[in-house]
A and B are shown apart, each in its own frame.
Chain A
Amino acid sequence: MKRGCIIVSAGGLLLAAALGTLFENRVFTGRFTAAEIVAGAAILLLYWGFVHLEQSADRTLLQKIGQLGLYVLLLLIALVLLEQYSGTRTWDAAGAGDAPGIVWYLVFAAAVYVTVRMLIFIQGLIFVDQSRRTSGMFYLLTVVMVLRIVQTFFTLESGPESGGFGWDREFDFSNATGVLTVLFLLLAVLNGFRCKWIHYLNRRQKIAILFAGTAVNIIAGIAGGSLAGTVTRFSITAGIFIRDTHTFFMIYSGLGLAGILLQLPSAGIMDRRMRQIRYLQNLGAELGSIIEKGELLSTSCVLAANIVNADVTWIELKAGAGYRLAWSAGLSCQYMEELPADMKADLRELIDAANPSLLINNVPRDTVCRRMAAGMVKAGSVLAAPLTFKETLRGYIYAVNHDRFGFSEENRGLFRAFADQVGVALENARLAQVSIEQEVYREELKLAHNAQMRLLPQKMPAIAGIELDAFCITANEIGGDFYDIIQVGPERTDIVIGDVSGKGASAAFYMAEMKGLVQALARHHACPVEILTEINGFVKTHFEKDTFVTMIYSMLYHRERKLVLARAGHPPVALVRRDKAEWLEPAGIGLGLATNDIMTRILKKQELSLVEGDTIVYLTDGLIEARNRDGEEFGEDRLKHILLDMDDLPAADASGLIRGHMQAFIGDVPQHDDVTLFILRLPADAPNNKERD
């Protein structure tokens, strides 16, 4: 916008300078090449600047025509007055007649200005709905106009007034003049056919523009001739520009007006179509916003009745192999349901074959639908269309009018267009429903996750001289890892860690079952092997064949500082004592893999006397098997190194450290298994707690 202003100003200044020079110095026998070039450049600049300025066009076409007409009319009046006053029709060798030179000068400048506006105006119209060829054609015309100016300048022999501007000279084929004229007229006519703007006018606008346009055309015709003749006397560039542009304007507007005239008879129908299209567009938006299916169907039935002026409408939707009546408006469902099934099937076939929609004008005489008229409804005519989305048939929509010939041909297209909108809206509603269900599912998973997390110990029991800490990170919302701490009497605390095979909901259910089982069995047994064997029997009997559980069951005796543990197929426990870390791996087998007989034979318990400074680390395979981006596993060795480097960290810090190491190791790779870790530690400087009870 700003750039446009600057260019226009520059063009205006140049034009003033050029015309001023020409005006002051014009000697009829001489040519002022420099000044003419400056004038030409000025016109180009003005044109270019206006192209930038004209972009913000909020005025209607009629207003624009009116404005242009007013400008041209004012010019014409100014010119006539000037002629009257000066007593001469043209500015000539004797001077500007009685009128002061400056007045002529101003009128000429104004004429150039208005003509540039005129060219821009035509360009704007031509470029409506433009294709690449459209703009090419227009620019070709402007090039020819420039050539005509240059050519005229060099062929006029002794000043403009002797050259004459009659059509004799224009069609002089002894030089390029004639050829250029023919080319100019041809291009002007070709550009004249680019008038798509007419299609966007309604009937009233067309009539208004027809009258206004004709008036402006006549005015421009008169003004163009007078102005061009006068201006050319002192500037060939400006003069020819004015004349050619006005000629072009007359040709273009003449053809455009003829186009409007031809379209006037059908303008009413066009208007109705446009209104219908707009109505359908609004309808589409309205239907698209309804996501509740019932509401969508009822709204569609009511709207369908309004659109084609029907008495009864209904929608049937695919249900399994057949169809079911989904909604109706204007009548109880009974009527539609009582229609004979074979007739309905025949009707559907007809609808599938019909394009754009099926119209039966005379139901009582129709071979297929005759029986419809015999029902509860006085059915005179029927309109029906399929409800589809992307080639998929969803159902059909029907409209019935009591009168025969109650629907027009035009209703057929409209009804189909409406049916298509309903098809899209139905799909929208379905998608919305799916996404709501998914949201509910996610919400439920979250609840399941929270419930599962609550199954884990909420806080560690306080045991003098012993620190406990744990974490459990699930890979999905719910998983199969678990750990538990059961205080069995004042002197014994059982620590259990386990992992149910598989993932997801089933693993989570089994995990919850394990928790209950462990809690119940702990109080009745004093040996971890016994407890594990009991659980094995349960898993073997009640769990699915391919599901098993790995577990470490350990009993911590406070007073004796003794840990008794058994391992059922679970990754071993790490013992960190002084500067050594070792894996405690008593023989064992996963729960649910074998019979209790084998179990008791294989399972071995291990007893361990704890000393101050000992750290025991329980974990699940998720930690050892955690993988980084390169597919490398976290591994037992890496863990061992971390454990050895921990020095005398409190249990909580130690678990935090391991967790940090693991997360740094996997980076942004999604965790693929649950990771659980439990730490038991006897601080080296712990107060003696033997006198606790």
Chain B
Amino acid sequence: MSEFEVTRKDVDDISIVYLKGYLDAHTAPEFETALQQLVDEERVKIVVNLAKLAYISSAGLGVFMGFIEDIRQKDGDIKLAEPTEKVFRVFDLLGFPVLYEIVSKESEAVDKYKKG
């Protein structure tokens, strides 16, 4: 039931992380590991593509919070792209749009990094 997958694509200095399935307390560590890996590699311009994310729980949301300050201190950011309506509703209720850039196209997020 908690099928979850994290894949990653690097474009220049930007890394795109694709989430798929259910991100909850059980699968959050997997996402955490992926982000930690990026931070360790000093790749802090991150786009998280949410197109295939079916569900996100509070533990999953917590992962973003655990990293965002650290990444922003390193002049990086986490931008969220292509959330489904349902997932966006969760982000919206929590007030994420105030804190994170959420865009409807992955390329949009990438462009924003490129423009600096």
Footprint of B on A, CB under 8 Å?
Answer: 480, 499-504, 544-548, 550, 568-572, 585, 587-590, 592-594, 598, 602, 621, 625, 631, 672-673
| Cα A499 to Cα B98 with chains together (Å) | 20
Report the bound CA distance from A569 to B24 in whole Å.
18
A588-B58 CB under 8 A given contacts A502-B25, A503-B25, A593-B65: no
Contacts of B61 on A, CB cut-off 8 Å?
501, 548, 590
Q: What residues on B are CB-neighbors of A501 within 8 Å?
A: 58-59, 61-62
Task: Report which of B59, B65, B98 forms a contact with A545, defined as CB distance below 8 A.
Answer: B65
Interface residues of B in 34-51 (CB under 8 A from A): none
Q: Give the complex CA separation of A545 and B55 in angstroms.
A: 22
Given the complex, which residues of A lie within 8 Å of B116, measured CB to CB? none
A593 touches B99 (CB 8 A): yes
C-alpha spacing A544/B66, complex, angstroms: 8
Given that A602-B98, A631-B1 are known contacts, is A548 also in contact with B62, CB under 8 Å in the complex?
yes
Q: Quick one: which of A550, A598, A672, A673 contacts B94, CB cutoff 8 A?
A: A550
List 8 additional contacts besides A480-B58, A501-B59; criterion CB under 8 Å. Answer: A502-B58, A503-B59, A569-B94, A589-B98, A593-B99, A594-B99, A625-B55, A673-B57
Complex CA–CA separation, A500 to B99 (angstroms): 19
Most chain A Cβ neighbours within 10 Å, of B25, B90, B96: B25
Chain B interface residue number, banded: 20 to 34
SS of A interface (majority): loop
Which residues of A are found within 8 Å of B59, using beta-carbon distances? 501-503
- Residues B65 and A546 in contact, CB atoms below 8 Å apart: yes
Residues of chain B at the chain A interface (Cβ within 8 Å): 1, 24-25, 55, 57-59, 61-63, 65-66, 69, 90, 93-96, 98-99
Residues of chain B contacted by A572 (CB below 8 angstroms): 93
Q: Would you list 18 pairs from A and B whose C-beta atoms are within 8 A, ordered by A residue?
A: A501-B59, A503-B59, A545-B66, A547-B62, A548-B62, A548-B94, A550-B58, A550-B94, A568-B95, A569-B94, A572-B93, A590-B95, A593-B96, A593-B99, A598-B99, A625-B55, A672-B24, A673-B57
Least Cβ–Cβ distance between A673 and chain B, in angstroms: 7
Chain A residue at minimal CB-CB distance from B89: A636
Tell me if B93 and A598 are in contact (CB < 8 A). Answer: no
Q: Which 9 A-B pairs have the closest CB atoms?
A: A589-B95, A546-B66, A501-B58, A546-B62, A569-B94, A590-B94, A503-B25, A502-B59, A501-B62
A570 vs B58: C-alpha distance when bound (angstroms)? 11
Give chain A residues whose Cβ lies under 8 Å from the Cβ of B63: 546
Are B58's CB and A548's CB within 8 A?
yes
A residues near B99, Cβ cutoff 8 Å: 589, 593-594, 598
Report which of B24, B65, B93 forms a contact with A548, defined as CB distance below 8 A: B65
Enumerate chain B residues within 8 angstroms of A544, measured Cβ to Cβ: 66
The interface residues of chain A lying within 8 Å CB-to-CB of B90 are 621
Cα–Cα, bound, A500→B62 (Å): 11
Q: How distant is the Cα of A589 from the Cα of B61 in the complex, in angstroms?
A: 13
Report Cα–Cα, A247/B57, bound state, in Å.
Answer: 87
A675 to chain B, nearest CB (A): 13
Chain A residues whose CB sits within 8 angstroms of the CB of B69 once the complex forms: 545
Distance between B32 CB and nearest chain A CB, rounded to angstroms? 8
